[in-house]
Structures are given as structure tokens and as C-alpha cells.
Amino acid sequence: MHLTARLHRHARRCADERGFTMLLAVFVLTVTTLLLGGAYIAVLDDTALSRNDLDQKRAYAAAQAGIQAYNYQLNQNVNYWETTCAALTGTVPGSTDAGTTEKYSVQVHVASTAPSNDNVCDTANPIATLIEGSTSGTAAGTFRVSSTGKSAGVSRTVVAQYRSPSFLNYVYYTDYEVLDPSATPGNPTGCAVHWPSRGRGCQPIEFVTGDAINGPLHSEDTLFVCGRPVFGRTKADQIQAAGHSDEGTGCGDNAVMTGTFNSTAPSLLPPSTNAQLLNVTQPAFHFTGVTKIVLNGGQMSVNGGAYVNDPTNGVVYVSTSSAGCPVTYTPFTATYTGNTGCGNVYVSGNYNTSLTIASDNDIIINGNIIPTGTPLTTPATAPSGTALLGLVANDYVRISHPVTPARDSSTDCGTASGGNVSNDTGSLQNPYIYAAILAVNHSFIVDNYDCGNQLGSLHVYGAIAQLFRGPVGTGNGNSGYLKDYNYDDRLATTEPPYFLNPVSAHWSVSRETECDVAASC
């Protein structure tokens, strides 16, 4: 029994689980501690990542707030971009969080085409230093700003490219659809008012059967129609005007609106002067008094001299001499001799580089102006390549049309009876003009448009912008030209060097990108 009792006691000790529970508890506690520690570390890492992600988003939002702040300044003053080179800084309202405040700083960029000796923002010469003067690509005529937003040491930068609506968006632009008061017999007053508010004596100019406006159009006025002129090429062409009417002339408004008519488009107004082009003109290409330019490829002859290479920045400017210009132009008494002090420039020839020729008086076209190698066909051949020509006059852009004998009034066409003359010696038959044309204060017009014979069609391939409508012939087609105006679609993304933009059109962001490398900003 004794042996049996001892065996029983030994068996009970072997079956005893005391101590095993402790080991299990230690093991579970160790594993739990490791799991909790791993979770804690993971939470810490995620918190840091989440905070960085939040700061990244807040920095980007701050950069966007800077762009909006700059937009506000431009909406208050369309010329704000050229008034200051200092950075626009600010704090995003309501952004303070745990001691962190989002801020932005907006800086205007110097243009890539800025003069190398003036590669800084210059409010005295903003166009040359800030506006891209390139003649190709979507950058032409734009300026850029970069906005850097910051949050808790994190920064992000957004670059915005600004573009203003352009006259070059249209094959035809006018403010007033009447004859320029300075070119009207008796100089009637009250014509610089849109129909139907203007007074009597103003001469509306009609689009007539045979006229073709092959592209988008913009007028601040009502279009006057007699018959079946064609407006637009396809529905994609906007025909923007207050309305269209025959103004009670009795010949009927049967306009063919191939384009899409729009009477609610925003207004565009021209600048008061082209003088800003003078600021970017190289001294060798600034001329004074009557100047005659013949283009030949990438060269030009000035006043009969030897051909020289076109200016490297593509701008030519002609000023009136200090003695002034004593002649008051009218299309009825146009002359082509004397008046040597007037800042008039005669232009003809062919070109293969981009140019803008400007005058503080008139530009007179006395021959075909075409890209080199362009055939003269009907319909006009679409231009190719990258060369573009701008003709920008403070006053008139005129088509030379002398009549013989010379007339001395608006009713005398060179004969005692006041009838039409038949001698159009020196006049252009079916001329071709490939250019973007802007008459800042007056009109695109044909001299003596109401005299002589019918001269065919005036083929313009490009764009025409003018303050007052300029006649190019009589409505019955007995003299002057019918219109064959064709839009150069390259002008939608490309422009002649430093071409002028409307003053009333607000800048808008045409492109926005984030700049992830500071050096590329």
C-alpha cells in the first residue's frame, strides 16, 4: 500500500498544470506588446504621412489662392500686370491650424524673348520684358506668373499663363459700321455711336451680294446688309455683332449666315495708340517721315536703298518728323507726293520672316504683299509656313488708288461734270494682301473708292481690325473692289511680333501647370 500511495502521489504531480499557465501568460503578453508596439509605430508613421499629405494639399490650395488673388487684381485693373514687378503676397483666410498658416507669393515672369541686356521685369517697358514676343506656338502674346503656396514647411508652385482676347481671333473687326467721320464730307458729328442711337448724316456701309467674309467676325455695331453677302465658312465661325439689318434701304437683308450668329459676345475695344511698338523697335529700323519699304524674302529695301536683313525682333516703326504732318487725309483727296514729314509708310513685296510694320500715321499698300512663293489664285491660296506680317497704323491702312486727273472734292471724280473717270493708271487690279491689319483710330480703306472702274476683288488673307468701317468700293460694284476676306487660322495660336491686343479685354488663364522643379519655374 505504501508503494501504491507513492505512485499515486507521483502521478498527481505529473498531472499538475501549475506553472504552465504562467508561461502561456508571459508568451501572450509578449506577443501583445509586440503587436501594440508595431501598431503604435505604424500609427506614428501614418500620422506623419497624413500630415505631410495634408500640408501638400494645403500648399497647393494656397498656390491656387495666389492665382485667384492675381486674377482679382487683373479684373480690377486690366493693366495691373504691367504696373508692378513686386511679388503679390498674402495669407489664405481661415487657414490657421495647429500653429500652421498657409501663405502664397505670386511673382510675374520675365518673357523668354526679353532683350538680353534687360532681362528683368521693367514697368517702363512691360511689353518687351513680360509679353512673349515669339511668333509661333501658343505662348505668343502671353505672360506668365508663378504662385508658390506654403504650409508647415511644404511648398508647391503653380505657373499660370495669361492670354487676352485678340483682334487676331477674327478675320474682320469693327467698332462702328459707318464711314469714319474724318473721311466723310462735312465731318458729321455723332457718328461714333452705335446704331440706332447715332444721328443723321452718318454713312452706314453695307455688305453686298458678292462679299464673302470667310472666317469669324466681330463688330460692336449692327451689320448693314444689302442682298446676299456670305458670313462665315462653317458653323464653327462666330459672327458676333449687335444685329444685322438693311437699315431701311429697301434692298433687303438676305445675309447668308454660314457661321453662327451671336449678339451677346463680350466687347473688345482697340488701344488709343500703337506707340508701345516704338518701345521695342531697334534704332536701325525706326524711320522718320514718308518711308517706302519693299519686302523681298527675309530682306527689305527702304527708300530705294540696298536690301538689308529684316530686324531680329521683327518690328519696324515709322514716325512723323518733328515738323509734323500738315495734311488731313480724306479718301477723296488722297495724294502720293509731297508731305514728306508725315509718318506714312508704303509697303509691298514678299516676305518669309515674321514682321510687324507700324506707323504713327498711315500705312499705304501699293502692291501685292504675300508670303514668298505664294501663288496668286482665286480663291486665294491658304498661307503655309510660320511667317506672319502685321500692319499697324495709328490712323489709316490704305490701298493706293490714284485717279487721273486728280480730284479736289468728294463729288468730283476728276471731270468737270463730276462723273466717274476711266483712267485708273497705277491702281491695283485684284490685289492680294496676306497680313494682320489694324487701323487703331480710323479705318482700312481704299483711296478714291467711289471713282474709276471696278477693280476686281480685294483678296485679304489674315485679319482686319478697324475702329470705323472703311469702304473699299461702291455698293453697286461700279468702282473699287468686292471683298474676298479670308481668315488665316494660324492667327488663332500665332501672331506677328508684338501685335496689339484690345484694351477692354480682361486677361484670363489659358494654361495652368504645376512646377515640380524650382529651377524650371
Instruction: Report pLDDT for 49.
Output: 58
Are 159 and 174 within one domain? Answer: no
CA distance 501 to 439: 12
DSSP 367-417: EEEEETT----SSPPPP-SS--EEEEESS-EEE----SSPP-SSS-SSSTT
* Residue in the structure block whose three cell numbers are 493708271: 425
β partners of residue 425: none
Q: Which letter does DSSP use for residue 1 in this model?
A: -
CB-based contacts of 368, cutoff 8 Å, min separation 6: 348, 349, 350, 376, 428, 431, 432, 433
Are 235 and 114 within one domain? Answer: no
User: Would 27 be classed as within a structural domain?
Assistant: no
Give the range of the structural domain holding residue 405, as residue numbers without chain letter: 167-492
User: Would 16 be classed as within a structural domain?
Assistant: no
User: Would 262 be classed as within a structural domain?
Assistant: yes
Burial letters 320-343, b for 16+ CB under 10 A, else e: beeeebebebbbbbbeeeeeebbb
Are 392 and 284 within one domain? Answer: yes
β partners of residue 446: 399
User: Would 29 be classed as within a structural domain?
Assistant: no
CA atoms in the 13 A half-sphere facing the CB of 70: 34
Total number of domains constituting the chain: 2
Contact between 434 and 383 (Cβ < 8 Å): yes
Tens of pLDDT along the chain (521 residues) come to 566 666 666 656 655 555 567 777 777 787 777 777 666 565 555 555 577 888 889 999 999 999 999 989 887 787 788 888 889 999 987 656 556 689 999 999 998 888 765 567 888 888 788 888 765 556 777 889 999 999 988 999 999 998 777 899 899 999 999 989 888 766 677 788 898 888 777 888 889 898 999 999 999 999 999 999 999 999 989 999 999 998 777 788 999 999 999 998 878 888 899 999 999 999 999 999 999 999 999 999 999 999 999 999 999 999 999 999 988 888 988 888 878 999 999 999 999 999 999 999 999 999 999 999 999 998 899 998 889 999 999 999 999 998 877 777 767 776 544 444 445 667 899 999 999 999 999 999 999 998 888 899 999 999 999 999 999 988 666 788 999 999 999 888 788 998 988 876 667 787 888 887 555 56
Are 293 and 321 within one domain? Answer: yes
Are 112 and 255 within one domain? Answer: no
Are 380 and 333 within one domain? Answer: yes
Are 237 and 92 within one domain? Answer: no
Of 357, 488, 484, the closest CA to residue 431 belongs to 484
CA distance 91 to 102: 6
Burial letters 137-167, b for 16+ CB under 10 A, else e: eebbbbbbbbbbbbbbebbbbbbbbbbbbbb
User: Would 86 be classed as within a structural domain?
Assistant: yes
* Residue in the structure block whose three cell numbers are 534687360: 118
Are 482 and 511 within one domain? Answer: no
Are 229 and 80 within one domain? Answer: no
CA distance 445 to 442: 9
Residue 223, helix vs strand vs coil: strand
Cell numbers representing residue 75 in the block: 479684373
User: Would 1 be classed as within a structural domain?
Assistant: no
CA atoms in the 13 A half-sphere facing the CB of 34: 5
Are 393 and 375 within one domain? Answer: yes
Contact between 245 and 518 (Cβ < 8 Å): no
- How does strand 212-214 pair with strand 154-163? unpaired
In this structure, the dihedral spanned by the alpha carbons of residues 109, 114, 116 and 119, taken in order and rounded to 10 degrees, is -30
State the amino acid at position 383 in one-letter form: P
Cell numbers representing residue 199 in the block: 444721328
Are 247 and 216 within one domain? Answer: yes
User: Would 9 be classed as within a structural domain?
Assistant: no
User: Rounded to an integer, what is the distance from CA 160 to the centroid of its chain?
Assistant: 16
The distance between the two most distant Cα atoms of the chain, rounded to a whole number of Å, is: 166
User: Would 352 be classed as within a structural domain?
Assistant: yes
* Residue in the structure block whose three cell numbers are 508670303: 371
Are 246 and 130 within one domain? Answer: no
